[in-house]
Each structure stands twice: as structure tokens, then as C-alpha cells.
């Protein structure tokens, strides 16, 4: 895709962080928008900012839970009826959770998986028919560096993000002979509210923790802003990059996982424990 001008971009999780930055940058570049989030006030605020960025931009906005399959299919139908269908779909909505395999509740595990994995599957399958009708289209699925390596207390998050990566790489091969391009995004630490909005019970040393403590540690470690991340994603769409790494930390983790696929455990465990101790 050479330009976003006059394209329709559908984004989930557009109330905050990378979803919000993407929406505003897409509007600035001349796109019309279909924005959803479970946080209705936040997504309406994003829509107001996007409309102010470019007068005349069409911005459809609604509250939606990406875990609700029927609601996503209804949203896709609305986008087709009101905006003529999406050219770009960004499956961005996500949540965070810190808990060990042993103590994590099934409810928390399912909550995360329904959003971070099934939300991506629901969005992709609901929009695929309309994306295939376009001369050129793009699906962007948000995985993570935690879709490249495993990390203690992140088993649910890593499992969902590894699953997004597998799903997206298979999808890309299935669509290779069509007009629909597919990108899997692996951000490193991005300065957003994802941890503040999450559920955090245990740190990497196995000690009880709180969302406040994990958020503090995350804020110290995250290096890239949401605006910078959004621009990297948009460059990836415009250059049809199938695999978008965001940040020097993501590049370093990707190299580590390739060079030391069996030995990275010790490095990651030590780094996670150091991080947990520093914020105590």
C-alpha cells in the first residue's frame, strides 16, 4: 500500500496507547477511521482528536469488546455499510497479566486469552471478506516481543502473543496470492497504560505484587513512545513489511532468541528478577 490517503482504517483498542496514536496519525495522513474500544469515553476522545487533526475525516466510533465475536462481526458489517469497507484492519486491543502458572486463576487466563488471542482471530475473520474486495488491503496483528521469548509470570500473555504470531504467519501464507498483505507486530517496551489497566499479582521472584509496583517497573524500562511506535507500524504497512519489530529492545530480544534459543532462559530470568528487586 503506497498511501493511507482516502483509505478506511479500522482499529481495535483505539482509546489509548498505540491504538490512539495510530488513529490520530492515520487521520493526519488522510484516512477515514472506524475505531472501537471497550473504553467508550477514551475512544470517543480519540475520535475527537482525530477529527480535529483533519477536517472532513469520517470517523465512526463505538464501544466494543473484542472478545465478543458477534459484536465484531456486527461492527465489520457497519464499517462496510457506512464507510464502504476497511482497507486496513489493525487488531491492536490487548491487556496484561502477571501471575505464575501455578497460582493463576482460570478466569484470569481466559480473560486475557479471549482479548489478546481471540480478539485478533475474531477481527481478522470478520473483516477478511471485505478486505479481499479491495484492490489492496492490509491486516496488522499486534503480537509482542513476548511472542518471541517466554518470560516468568507472563505465561498467559506469552502464550497468547505466540499464538497471534503463529496465526498471523499462517494467514500471511494463505493470502500470499491475494491483494491482502499481512503484518505481525512485535513491540518492545512501549510507554502506554497497558500495565496500569492490567491484572498483576506476582513478580518474577515469586513474591506477591501490585499493579502499582509493576507499572512503576514497566515505566522505568519502556523506552519507545506510543507515537514513535505508531509511526513504525505505519512505515511497516506502507512498505508491506511482514514482520515489524519496534524498538532497539525488540531487535536485541529477537537476535538473542535466534542466537541462544536454549540459553536465553537464564538471561531473561536474571533480568526479570533484577527488575522485580529494583522496584521493591
Ligand X SMILES: NC(=O)c1ccc[n+]([C@@H]2O[C@H](COP(=O)([O-])OP(=O)(O)OC[C@H]3O[C@@H](n4cnc5c(N)ncnc54)[C@H](O)[C@@H]3O)[C@@H](O)[C@H]2O)c1
Stretch of 32-40, 49-57, 131-139, 205-213 contacting ligand X, by CB under 6 A: 32-40
Stretch of 25-33, 81-89, 191-199, 266-274 contacting ligand X, by CB under 6 A: 191-199
Cβ contact 3:29 at 8 Å: yes
Rounded to the nearest 10 degrees, how much is the dihedral formed by the CA atoms of 104, 110, 114, 118? 100
Q: Known catalytic residue: 264? A: no
**Number of C-beta neighbours around residue 165 at 10 A:** 20
- Using alpha carbons only, what angle is made at residue 40 by residues 19 and 118, rounded to the nearest 5 degrees? 60
In the block, cell 489509548 appears at 16
Residues 6+ apart with CB under 8 A from 262: none
In this structure, what C-alpha cell is assigned to residue 224?
Answer: 519507545
Q: Give the nearer residue to ligand X in terms of CB position, either 18 or 182.
A: 18
Using CB under 6 A as the binding rule, the residues of this chain from 35 to 94 that contact ligand X are 37-39, 42, 64-67, 92-94
Closest CA relative to residue 53, chosen from 21, 85, 79 = 21
Is position 123 an interface residue for ligand X (rule: CB under 6 A)? no
Is position 197 an interface residue for ligand X (rule: CB under 6 A)? yes
In this structure, what C-alpha cell is assigned to residue 258?
Answer: 535466534
Site string for ligand X, 143-182 (x = CB under 6 A): -x--------------------------------------
Closest CA relative to residue 157, chosen from 210, 200, 213 = 200
CB 96 → ligand X: shortest distance, Å? 7
**Binding-residue total with ligand X (CB under 6 A):** 32
CB 73 → ligand X: shortest distance, Å? 14
CB 117 → ligand X: shortest distance, Å? 10
Under the rule (CB under 6 A), what is the footprint of ligand X?
12-13, 15-19, 37-39, 42, 64-67, 92-95, 115-116, 142, 144, 187, 189-190, 192-194, 197, 222, 226
Q: Which sequence positions are flagged as catalytic?
A: 157
Amino acid at each position: 500500500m503506497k498511501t493511507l490517503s482516502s483509505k478506511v482504517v479500522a482499529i481495535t483498542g483505539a482509546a489509548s496507547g498505540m491504538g490512539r496514536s495510530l488513529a490520530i496519525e492515520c487521520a493526519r495522513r488522510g484516512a477515514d477511521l472506524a475505531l472501537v474500544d471497550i473504553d467508550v469515553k477514551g475512544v470517543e476522545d480519540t475520535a475527537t482528536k482525530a477529527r480535529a487533526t483533519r477536517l472532513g475525516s469520517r470517523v465512526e466510533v463505538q464501544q466494543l469488546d473484542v472478545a465478543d465475536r458477534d459484536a465484531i462481526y456486527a461492527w465489520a458489517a457497519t464499517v462496510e455499510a457506512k464507510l464502504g469497507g476497511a482497507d486496513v484492519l489493525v487488531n491492536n486491543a490487548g491487556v496484561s497479566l502477571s501471575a505464575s502458572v501455578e497460582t493463576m486463576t482460570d478466569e484470569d487466563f481466559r480473560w486475557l486469552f479471549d482479548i489478546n488471542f481471540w480478539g485478533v482471530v475474531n477481527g481478522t475473520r470478520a473483516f477478511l471478506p471485505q478486505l479481499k474486495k479491495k484492490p489492496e488491503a492490509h491486516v496488522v496483528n499486534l503480537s509482542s516481543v513476548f511472542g518471541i521469548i517466554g518470560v516468568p509470570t507472563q505465561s498467559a500473555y506469552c502464550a497468547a502473543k505466540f499464538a497471534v504470531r503463529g496465526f498471523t504467519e499462517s494467514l500471511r501464507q494463505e493470502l500470499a496470492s491475494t491483494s491482502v498483505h499481512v503484518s505481525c507486530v512485535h513491540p518492545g517496551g512501549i510507554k502506554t497504560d497497558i500495565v496500569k489497566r492490567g491484572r498483576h499479582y506476582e513478580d518474577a521472584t515469586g513474591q506477591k505484587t501490585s499493579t502499582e509496583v509493576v507499572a512503576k517497573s514497566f515505566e522505568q524500562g519502556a523506552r519507545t513512545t506510543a507515537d514513535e511506535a505508531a509511526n513504525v507500524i505505519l512505515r511497516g504497512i506502507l512498505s508491506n513489511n511482514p514482520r515489524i519489530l519496534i524498538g532497539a529492545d525488540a531487535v536485541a530480544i529477537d537476535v538473542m532468541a535466534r542466537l541462544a534459543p536454549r540459553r536465553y532462559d537464564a538471561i531473561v530470568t536474571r533480568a526479570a528478577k533484577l527488575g522485580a528487586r529494583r522496584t521493591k
